Amino acid sequence: MPLSSIPTALSLATAIPVLQHQEVKANVSFGSPRRVVVNKIGRNVGLSVRSVSPGDATGSSIQFDVPFPGDYEELLDQAKEATQVALKDGIQLMEIEFPTAGLESVPGDGEGGIEMTGSMQLIREFCDLLIVPEKATRTRIFFPEANEVQFARKSAFGGASFKLDYLTKPSFFQDFGIVEKVKMVDRVKEEDELFIVGYPYFNVNDYPSFFYPKLAALLTTLFPKMETVYYIHNFKGRSGGALFRCYPGPWKVLRRLGSRYVCVHEQEDMPTLKEVALDILPKA
């Protein structure tokens, strides 16, 4: 369903801290894993896509069985279709995550700067597939920092009509965790209809809830509202395989057999990566 058919209205971009991991987690997503909030170089592409209104939510999810992609062109087509179906189902806050250093790569396989450039290019290609030209000027794409916006304009997003923005401004005290706060309410404009946050990742569990209550609150406020519409996480070793999901299908654990993948397990809810690595794949 083209984005042009989705009526939207102004809303505060609560998905701002959302868009994978730079596995392209576009937390859309779109290498190392990133999930929600701000991240640095060398991640899986992560994108978070936020539509400001539910559109024509008909609840008519199309059930389909999607194979593991053979290349990035097929991957982006699958991610686009999953996003469009989710938008049609009224889902406003979604996440996409996949590796960018190769379809079978894991976090750490790629070199940071090269992977960041590749991630930006994949995000651009995804946006070109998903967003019709007349909606480009109404789409705001957030990157973690202001200097990444400058880099994007000189590289993958050169000449694009999308609005490029940032979540934080680097400061002299950044190494101490101090950055210049950016008020999103001042950056979001009334004509904005779609928000995409590129490769953010943040593991709330790394921060004790007693000392970081606002971060802990995300586990019960923001995160439950997010729908992972497209996801790939690879596992190497003797029990190599992948955790794969393409909305509205189930979560699948795939065993890698040479150049092909065989589904050995599927379920409706996302299993933990630990469960897949230590239980499901070894016993398959």
pLDDT for the residue 173 = 58
CA distances from 268 to 74, 132, 134, 244, 246 (A): 23, 31, 36, 12, 12
240 occurs within a structural domain: no
pLDDT of residue 51: 55
Would 48 be classed as within a structural domain? yes
Q: What is the pLDDT of residue 136?
A: 96
The answer to whether residue 85 is domain-embedded is yes
**In which domain, by residue range, is 110 found?**
17-227
For residue 219, the model assigns a pLDDT of 83
Q: What does the pLDDT read at residue 245?
A: 97
Residue 101 lies in a domain: yes
User: What DSSP line would sit under 103-141, residue for residue?
Assistant: TT--TTSS-HHHHHHHHHHHHHHHHHHHS-GGGGGGEEE
**pLDDT for 39:** 28
Any domain includes 103: yes
Q: Decide if 256 contacts 232 (C-beta within 8 A).
A: no
Identify the H or E element spanning 146. Answer: helix 146-154
Total domains in the chain come to: 1
pLDDT by 10s per residue, the chain, length 284: 333 333 221 112 223 333 333 444 444 444 333 333 222 233 455 565 655 544 444 444 445 689 999 999 999 999 999 999 999 999 999 999 999 889 999 887 877 677 778 889 999 999 999 999 999 999 999 998 888 999 999 999 999 999 999 987 766 655 555 556 678 788 889 999 999 998 766 667 777 888 888 878 888 888 888 999 999 999 998 889 999 999 999 999 999 998 899 999 999 999 999 999 999 999 98
237 found inside a domain: no
Cα separations in angstroms, 87 against 10, 13, 66, 140:
16, 16, 18, 17
What is the reported pLDDT for 161? 96
Residue 45 pLDDT: 57
On whether residue 9 sits in a domain, the answer given is no
User: How many residues are there in the chain?
Assistant: 284
State the pLDDT at residue 209.
83
pTM for the whole structure: 0.78
| 207 occurs within a structural domain | yes
245 close to 251: Cβ distance less than 8 angstroms? yes
The CA distance from 231 to 27, in Å, is 11
